[in-house]
Amino acid sequence: MDATLTDREKTAERLLAASAKHSFDPDTELDWDAPFEEGSWYWPPELVSLYDTPLWKQLSEEQRITLSRHEAASLCSIGVWFETILMQLLLRHTYDLDPTSGHVRYALTEIADECRHSKMFARAVTKMETPAYRPSRLDLQLGRVLKTVSTTPGSFTGTLLAEEILDWMQRLTFPDERIQPLVRGITRIHVVEEARHIRYAREELRRQMATAPRWEIEFTRLSSAQAARVIARSLISPRVYASVGLDPEYAAHTALNSPHRQDVMKQSAKRLMDFFEEIGLIRGPSRRLWRASGLVG
Ligand SMILES: [Fe+2]
Ligand SMILES: [Fe+2]
């Protein structure tokens, strides 16, 4: 066995052992019947897209909490869309590989995690009694194209983009006592299980970038930067703003141009972008496209 393979198998075995110890069934782990608490937030206010804007200042406390409910629901709904894509990419990654390897067994374990997560997020949306927010038609189609043409390093880059940005937000959410207990429970489960996914994807991506042919790396830089744009702009559906009587287009424009929001998005991606810089994903002509995603400082 060569060094890369041994390294890959070692990581997989470690992750399989951790999965056996710390995996959760959200259906039984969380209290889905408890009513929501009066006056508690559904998402940290500082992470709500309009925080600190003139529109935010016009909203009452109750409206701000309502908006936090719709934004949490949007993140859950869009999370299901991301995970549906990730599961397909991961399954495709296993297609050519030895099914008895730890690396493939871990990929299947991760898909099982994502199945439980997607059911959990969908159930949370139902519980929050909001619309099931979906990406725009254009982004839904772009997602279809990107997952179809994705290279292997591109698949792991896209996975990390979706996982690490949400992970950064969820790490601020689950310990926060202002937040609804159900939302804290969901984000805690997700943070614990995603830590393994992030590890798996980062290590595999580093290996892929060291061995992929030049054309594949060039293509991955451009397609991943495009994926970053789609992911960043899809997180909050503009339709959430209608829940508090705001014009969706105007409110989305306000959020996009809010210095606080721009800072939150950059902070959420900071560690990942440093890693992408290090392994050579943000180079040459792709840099402008990366900047346009609002994730690179
Ligand atoms: Fe997940
Ligand atoms: Fe994941």
183-233 pLDDT tens trace: 999 999 999 999 999 999 999 999 999 999 999 999 999 999 999 999 999
Q: For the chain, which ranges sit under pLDDT 70?
A: 1-4
CA of 90 to the centre of ligand 1 (A): 13
- Residue 190: how many CB atoms within 10 A of its CB? 26
| Strand blocks (E) in 18-130 | none
Amino acid at 285: P
CA of 194 to the centre of ligand 1 (A): 6
CA of 178 to the centre of ligand 1 (A): 23
CA of 163 to the centre of ligand 2 (A): 6
pLDDT, tens digit, 9 for 90 and up, residues 48-70: 999 999 999 999 999 999 999 99
* Separation CA 109–CA 135 (nearest Å): 27
* Separation CA 291–CA 247 (nearest Å): 27
Spatial CA neighbour of 201 closest among 256, 148, 279, 96: 279
Closest ligand (CA of 121):
1
CA of 296 to the centre of ligand 1 (A): 24
CA of 107 to the centre of ligand 2 (A): 10
User: What is the pLDDT at residue 285?
Assistant: 86
CA of 121 to the centre of ligand 1 (A): 9
CA of 194 to the centre of ligand 2 (A): 5
* Helix segments in the chain, DSSP class H: 3-21, 26-29, 54-58, 61-94, 102-128, 137-149, 152-173, 181-211, 214-234, 248-256, 259-278, 286-292
Predicted structure pTM score: 0.96
* Separation CA 209–CA 220 (nearest Å): 10
> What number of residues does the chain have?
297
* Separation CA 143–CA 227 (nearest Å): 8
Closest ligand (CA of 190):
1
